[in-house]
Structure 1
Amino acid sequence: MRFLSITSACLMMMGSCTAFAEPLQVQIFNSDGTATQSQYEPPAQAKQPWRIGIAIPHLKDPYWLAASYGAMAEAERLGVQARLVAAQGYTDVTGQLNQLDNLVVEGVDAIVLAAVGPHAQSQKVSKIVEDGTPVIGMINPIETDAVKVRRGISYKILAQKAGEYFKEFARSRPTKIALLPGPAGSGWAEDLEQGFVGAIKDQANIEVVDTKYGDTGKDAQMTLLQNILQAHPDVDYIVGNPVAAEAAPRLLATLANTRTQVVSLIATPPVMNLVEREQVLMFPSDQAALLARLAVDAAVDVLEGRDVPANMGSSITIVTKDNVAIFDRTGTFAPDDYRPVFQVNWN
């Protein structure tokens, strides 16, 4: 187990070099629910070119582009073989299950999995692990005891941190909120709602007037926003997934609505740009690229028999107009010109 100050954390990908913040600050989540802040040193180099499969829900938004970047860049730095597969979204359970089967057939030594849902893959994953291939949980929740090692921040904790900040921001003012967490059944959307609502529930002045779940496609989120603003024209804040946060300022401008403000519960580059323009109030960053990097590190550690903590995640930063100019985006976003890479060192 390595928790040390690192002197360099540089990922080589496609001829470019991106340095992660130094030292690399992480959280170790304990079995009693507490978290310990630590400094982490990743493996310097893999002992052999392990074959690692990386499965994610989709590549349709900047969040998963960042995660794919972090995972594949770290695979290249470590000198392992990696193959990235992406399902078609959170309803594509069959697609992801088939992709897991294909990775096993290709003879991967380990799988890093960001599940499309918390339960749908449980039986499949249990069988994969039982047959000798370790599975590392990445970012999204998956409910199975077969996954012993996970790298991610609970979306509940992420939204809770945002809610705690929001509560201080709202203070005692009467405040009406509409929530758009994301796709029902994804697990992470429910966690976003529970975390944010749990943080503000002791504030009698803050009222959640509407909660609407839906696919994170732009058209679907725009429809939900229109329905909310039609039913609740006096709502003070739209709070939710980043696609809703990206769409809301345009709709509010069209409606000449200067009352309603916007909060994103997940970080994306467009959301950050809107914070810079003061069209989105804030977002919490869970550092998607860094979490994916940690997951690939964990796969190598497990394959090489090193002792690793069961649950590790990044530190959370609340980004507002006051600190967005100095926010280090390295661990959160992919480079602006990055395009998905589906194989590294694969042969």
Structure 2
Amino acid sequence: MNKLPHVLTLYFAHLLLLAAGLITSTESAAEKQWWPTKVNVFNPACTDGDINCWTDPRNDASKLELLDYTPLMPNDVRKKHHICVSFPHLKDSYWKGVAYGVISEGRRLKQKITLVEAGGYTNLEWQLNQVEDCIANGAEALVIGPISSHGNARQIDMIRAQGIPVVVIITGINTMVDASSLQSFYNMGHASCEWIVDQHADNKNIIRVVWFPGPPGAGWSTAADQGCRSAVKNTNVKIVDTKWGDTGKGIQLKLVEEVLQTMTSGKETELDYIVGTATTIEGAVGAIRFRELEEKIKLVAFYYTPGMQIFLKRGAVAMAPSDQMITQAQIAIDQALRMLENKPMATGGRPEYNNTGRLVEHVQPPVVIVTPETVHDFDTSTTLAPKNWTPKFSVD
């Protein structure tokens, strides 16, 4: 028997997100034009499940083609479709931003969206059950941020075998899919750690970093770990400890406290940087302030949240990159709808990795580096759900 499905139709998603403080703007999605938007196009497309595609020299961030992405307009769409969207959780503001993108774009295009969330990265079985129920209830396409790059793969294979298109968003998967709106977290981890290397290019001293990549086994955290380690290889920046863990606030704060207790004594510390998930850094701000170590330990995240925005403005965080996750979510809905409507890919698609013979679209918005010096110029509409978001949902 399936576990409690946690299925959220748009109406019930509204109630949940309201309770969680997610709903943060009076501006309707239809009133805000986010297009055209710049995207990098992977060539080859990393959609066949082979993780080596991400580190293929042809897909180096500096070599990716930059194009305009223009989505469908409501008048381009023949009918209302049912799209299932599955997230690992809605516990942090990152995934809440992704939810804003999904829901606002579904609303703009007058589609039926069913959103499910599994409650955390340890709840793979819940996510599998939720997706199974969602497809059984008539979903015509699946947009998914998988909990596990391996654990979700077999189910995705089975769904695609039914002729149901699958779009992967935010987190990766080690099997074939039909489209990806997916920033490389290898690039995100690399960008954050490379930024630290660049800050100390003229410094011969060892720069000591403790690294918090996120939940073990998740495709995105594993990729970020690889990217960070690649960036610091053969430099004076050394990762002296790595702490894996779910992105729940309590879990990350506990990990930070363990590190600080081990590597600090009074106002002296063996650390130069704490680098990790946005949840890690949000917890670390208070922890190092309490110990009066703000001038000695710098904080760097490898993705962006409202907390990063606040702390960057205060100068409490040194850097956080944005992968423009709202834009990723909006594109994913457009990609799914194009397949359901038999319409061409917005960027034309590119040959898939390993010469599979397929032409597939894999796009990502460019990474934006944000520091205290640049935060006031950063366009948050691509990344953070606006304040007082109060969409009206209909369920068909």
Amino acid at match of 1:197: R
Q: CA deviation at 1:50?
A: 0.9
Which residue pairs with 1:228 in the alignment? 259
Which residue pairs with 2:59 in the alignment? 33
- 1:109 alignment partner, one of 132, 140, 165: 140
Q: CA deviation at 1:289?
A: 0.8
Q: CA deviation at 1:192?
A: 1.4
Give the distance between the partners of 1:65 and 1:218, measured in 2 at CA. Answer: 15
Answer yes or no: is 1:187 the counterpart of 2:219: yes
Superposed CA RMSD: 1.7
Give the distance between the partners of 2:296 and 2:200, measured in 1 at CA. Answer: 14
Which string of whole-angstrom CA distances, capped at 9 and with x for unpartnered residues, describes residues 207-265 of structure 1? 11111101212221122112212222310000000111001111111112131110011
Amino acid at match of 2:81: W
Amino acid at match of 1:229: L
Q: CA deviation at 1:283?
A: 0.5
Q: Secondary structure at the match of 1:335?
A: coil
Answer yes or no: is 1:318 the counterpart of 2:369: yes
Which residue pairs with 1:217 in the alignment? 248
Q: CA deviation at 1:166?
A: 2.1
TM-score (norm 2): 0.80
**Structure 2 unpaired stretches of 5+:** 1-24, 45-57, 265-269, 350-360
Q: CA deviation at 1:121?
A: 1.1
- 1:202 alignment partner, one of 199, 212, 234: 234
Answer yes or no: is 1:70 the counterpart of 2:101: yes
Give the distance between the partners of 1:178 and 1:161, measured in 2 at CA. Answer: 16
Which residue pairs with 2:328 in the alignment? 291
Q: CA deviation at 1:168?
A: 1.3
Which residue pairs with 1:137 in the alignment? 168
Q: CA deviation at 1:158?
A: 1.4
Which residue pairs with 2:128 in the alignment? 97
Amino acid at match of 1:156: Y
CA spacing shift, 1:73–1:137, aligned 2, 3 Å = same
Give the distance between the partners of 1:87 and 1:274, measured in 2 at CA. Answer: 29
Q: Secondary structure at the match of 1:181?
A: strand
Give the distance between the partners of 1:23 and 1:298, measured in 2 at CA. Answer: 14
- 2:182 alignment partner, one of 152, 176, 186: 152
Which residue pairs with 1:8 in the alignment? none
Q: Secondary structure at the match of 2:119?
A: coil
Task: Decide whether the 8 Å contact of 1:83 with 1:344 is kept in 2.
Answer: no
Amino acid at match of 2:153: S
Decide which moves more: 33-42 or 135-144.
33-42
Q: CA deviation at 1:21?
A: 5.3
CA spacing shift, 1:14–1:99, aligned 2, 3 Å = farther
Q: CA deviation at 1:15?
A: 5.7
Which residue pairs with 1:16 in the alignment? 28
- Percent sequence identity is 30
Which residue pairs with 1:249 in the alignment? 285
Amino acid at match of 1:118: S
Answer yes or no: is 1:42 the counterpart of 2:71: yes
CA spacing shift, 1:260–1:15, aligned 2, 3 Å = closer
**Structure 1 unpaired stretches of 5+:** 1-12
Aligned structure 1 segments of 4 or more residues deviating by more than 3 angstroms: 17-23
CA spacing shift, 1:165–1:40, aligned 2, 3 Å = same
Which string of whole-angstrom CA distances, capped at 9 and with x for unpartnered residues, describes residues 168-206 of structure 1? 112232211110111111121121111112112131x21
Which string of whole-angstrom CA distances, capped at 9 and with x for unpartnered residues, describes residues 76-122 of structure 1? 11111111111111111111111111111111111111111111111
Q: CA deviation at 1:266?
A: 1.1
Task: Decide whether the 8 Å contact of 1:27 with 1:313 is kept in 2.
Answer: yes
Which residue pairs with 2:343 in the alignment? 306
Amino acid at match of 2:213: P
Give the distance between the partners of 1:128 and 1:243, measured in 2 at CA. Answer: 33
Which residue pairs with 2:6 in the alignment? none
Decide which moves more: 65-74 or 304-313.
304-313
Amino acid at match of 2:131: L
Q: CA deviation at 1:346?
A: 2.6
Give the distance between the partners of 2:384 and 2:376, measured in 1 at CA. Answer: 15
Q: Secondary structure at the match of 1:153?
A: coil
Decide which moves more: 305-314 or 53-62.
305-314
CA spacing shift, 1:72–1:324, aligned 2, 3 Å = same
